[in-house]
């Protein structure tokens, strides 16, 4: 291995260990590695150019708008309405509140595009509510943490936009549609685990809702749920692109939050806009520095070396894909999703394609894999938020998380080895191959 690559890896890990922000760690490590190849000024200039080039994409314009729409929906009273809607759907089955938690997190995560926002908004209400009904607090927090990640598969999803950039242009519309069935599959897997747990622990069963209550709660939630229909329907129907859809999502979320639900005041908008700018800046800095590191690795032929090593590991595609998944799981434990997608897509995508996997299928597999990392220690952002809301510790959450990890891993294997789960809907809507 080249000395520059060793410097890159060692410096990156060392910077993370002393709590340097991930984006800064990636950028500094890349510059240090390049100093072993070229002089300081050319090294810094090259990194800056690669960062700028990584951000020079029209598709990335969708990210700030989807971030803003998510913040508006998060402050706009959406969570409470989705929870009430989920209650009338599944609250009467054994372990019904656990199902309500999962459905609410999935829907809110999909609408807001943020797993952290889903954990905060849904967990803030559901964790104490479920505890009052006799559910274990740690188990409740574990449900919230894992279920919140499913929203990253169901559009609008910023991470799928980033994968489109990293893969060289896989259709965002196709990726958006492809994420539905895998996201639902993960939710169903989590529900299965919760049903068994609820039966063993004899958790309470909710009452059957009255017809009028069912209609009322459904009607209250419809405006929020319509955002998904509006965005995806418009993209699939060819009325607008994903970037244009992000602007429409902002306008709709603004109208819903300020005019319809009246949960957001006009005086709150400057704060929300500022938060959206801050979040976008963090994401774009990650994209820029990760693109530079990815270029550095490609310059040193690391993707080709890893590809050759994997192809010589076994002649069995099952074994190679399992190995890729295990590596990505390990990466997800220690690295945020955005740099992981940008750095490792150029490394593993050629291997997957050589095995007959489509770039669309690989993207969904990769995002689902990294979703597991969001709820695993030591750096899982969603896990930390869930612990904070539940006022518990990571150590206490590990035991109830284990069966939920197992459910997510089984879903991952199904998505990996059954291409139709990811490819059926894009094919049905004529988006496959775009």
What average pLDDT does the segment 379-403 reach?
87
What average pLDDT does the segment 387-394 reach?
88
Query: pLDDT category, 207, cuts 50, 70, 90?
Result: low
Within a 10 A sphere around the Cβ of 134, how many other Cβ atoms? 11
> Could you give the CA distance from residue 409 to residue 428 in angstroms, rounded to a whole number?
27
Query: pLDDT category, 206, cuts 50, 70, 90?
Result: low
Count of residues making up the chain: 434
Does residue 433 have a pLDDT over 60?
Answer: no
Lowest mean pLDDT among 64-78, 275-289, 316-330, 396-410: 64-78
> Could you give the CA distance from residue 217 to residue 46 in angstroms, rounded to a whole number?
56
Q: Where are the beta strands (DSSP E) in 114-184?
A: none
Query: pLDDT category, 370, cuts 50, 70, 90?
Result: very high
Does residue 301 have a pLDDT over 60?
Answer: yes
User: What is the predicted pLDDT for the residue at 91?
Assistant: 67
What average pLDDT does the segment 213-220 reach?
86
Within a 10 A sphere around the Cβ of 263, how many other Cβ atoms? 17
> 240: phi > 0 → left, psi -120 to 50 → alpha, else beta; which?
beta
User: What is the predicted pLDDT for the residue at 358?
Assistant: 94
Q: Angle at the Cα of 384 (from 187 to 17), degrees rounded to 5?
A: 125
What average pLDDT does the segment 242-257 reach?
89
First to last CA, the chain: 37
What average pLDDT does the segment 186-193 reach?
92
* SS3 category, 39: coil
Query: pLDDT category, 359, cuts 50, 70, 90?
Result: very high
Please compute, for residue 237, the number of CA atoms within 13 A of its CA located in the half-sphere on the CB side: 9
- Model pTM score: 0.90
Specify the higher pLDDT residue, 140 or 88: 140
> Could you give the CA distance from residue 427 to residue 271 in angstroms, rounded to a whole number?
42
Report CA dihedral (317, 327, 36, 165) to the nearest 10 degrees. 80
> Could you give the CA distance from residue 64 to residue 55 in angstroms, rounded to a whole number?
13
Specify the higher pLDDT residue, 251 or 378: 251
User: What is the predicted pLDDT for the residue at 51?
Assistant: 92
What average pLDDT does the segment 162-183 reach?
91
What average pLDDT does the segment 130-145 reach?
88
Average pLDDT, the chain: 87
Does residue 410 have a pLDDT over 70?
Answer: yes
Does residue 409 have a pLDDT over 90?
Answer: yes
Peptide bond into 378 cis (omega under 30): yes
The fraction of the chain above a pLDDT of 90, given in percent, is 34
Query: pLDDT category, 310, cuts 50, 70, 90?
Result: confident
Please compute, for residue 270, the number of CA atoms within 13 A of its CA located in the half-sphere on the CB side: 1
Within a 10 A sphere around the Cβ of 9, how many other Cβ atoms? 14
Beta bridge partners of 94: 205
User: What is the predicted pLDDT for the residue at 432?
Assistant: 67
What average pLDDT does the segment 286-304 reach?
87
Q: Which two tokens stand for residue 269?
A: 């908008």
Does residue 1 have a pLDDT over 60?
Answer: no
Does residue 48 have a pLDDT over 60?
Answer: yes
Does residue 179 have a pLDDT over 90?
Answer: yes
CB 242 within 8 A of CB 235: yes
Q: Which two tokens stand for residue 275?
A: 């938060």
Within a 10 A sphere around the Cβ of 40, how many other Cβ atoms? 10
What average pLDDT does the segment 207-215 reach?
78
What average pLDDT does the segment 198-224 reach?
80
Reported as a single tens digit per residue, the pLDDT across 317-353 is 999 999 999 999 998 888 888 999 999 999 999 999 9
What average pLDDT does the segment 172-191 reach?
93
């Amino acid at each position: 291995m080249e000395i520059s690559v060793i410097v890159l890896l060692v410096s990156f890990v060392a910077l993370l260990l002393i709590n340097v922000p991930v984006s800064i760690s990636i950028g500094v490590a890349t510059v240090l590695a390049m100093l072993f190849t070229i002089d300081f000024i050319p090294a810094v200039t090259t990194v800056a150019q690669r960062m700028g080039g990584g951000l020079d994409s029209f598709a990335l314009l969708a990210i700030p708008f989807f971030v803003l729409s998510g913040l508006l929906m998060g402050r706009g009273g959406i969570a409470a309405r989705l929870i009430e809607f989920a209650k009338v759907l599944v609250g009467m089955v054994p372990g019904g509140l656990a199902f309500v938690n999962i459905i609410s997190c999935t829907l809110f995560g999909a609408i807001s595009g943020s797993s952290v926002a889903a954990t905060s908004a849904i967990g803030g209400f559901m964790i104490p509510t479920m505890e009052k009904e006799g559910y274990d607090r740690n188990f409740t927090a574990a449900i919230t943490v894992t279920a919140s990640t499913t929203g990253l598969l169901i559009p609008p999803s910023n991470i799928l936009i980033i994968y489109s950039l990293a893969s060289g242009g896989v259709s965002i519309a196709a990726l958006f549609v492809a994420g539905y069935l895998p996201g639902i599959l993960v939710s169903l897997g989590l529900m299965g685990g919760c049903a068994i747990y609820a039966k063993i622990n004899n958790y309470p069963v909710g009452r059957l809702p009255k017809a009028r209550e069912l209609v009322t709660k459904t009607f209250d939630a419809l405006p929020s749920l319509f955002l998904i229909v509006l965005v995806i329907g418009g993209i699939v129907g060819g009325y607008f692109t994903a970037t244009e859809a992000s602007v429409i999502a902002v306008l709709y979320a603004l109208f819903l939050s300020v005019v319809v639900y009246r949960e957001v005041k006009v005086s709150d908008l400057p704060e929300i806009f500022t938060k959206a700018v801050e979040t976008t800046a963090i994401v774009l800095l990650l994209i820029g520095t990760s693109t530079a590191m990815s270029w550095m690795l490609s310059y040193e032929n690391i993707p080709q070396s890893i590809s050759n090593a994997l192809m010589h590991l076994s002649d069995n595609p099952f074994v190679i894909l399992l190995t890729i998944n295990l590596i990505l799981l390990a990466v997800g434990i220690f690295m945020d999703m955005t740099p992981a997608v940008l750095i490792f897509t150029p490394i593993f995508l050629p291997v997957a394609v050589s095995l007959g996997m489509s770039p669309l299928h690989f993207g969904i597999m990769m995002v689902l894999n990294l979703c597991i990392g969001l709820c695993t220690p030591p750096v899982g952002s969603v896990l930390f938020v869930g612990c904070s809301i539940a006022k518990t510790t990571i150590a206490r959450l590990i035991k109830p998380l284990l069966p939920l990890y197992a459910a997510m891993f089984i879903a991952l294997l199904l998505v990996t080895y059954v291409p139709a789960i990811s490819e059926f809907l894009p094919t049905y809507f004529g988006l496959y191959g775009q």
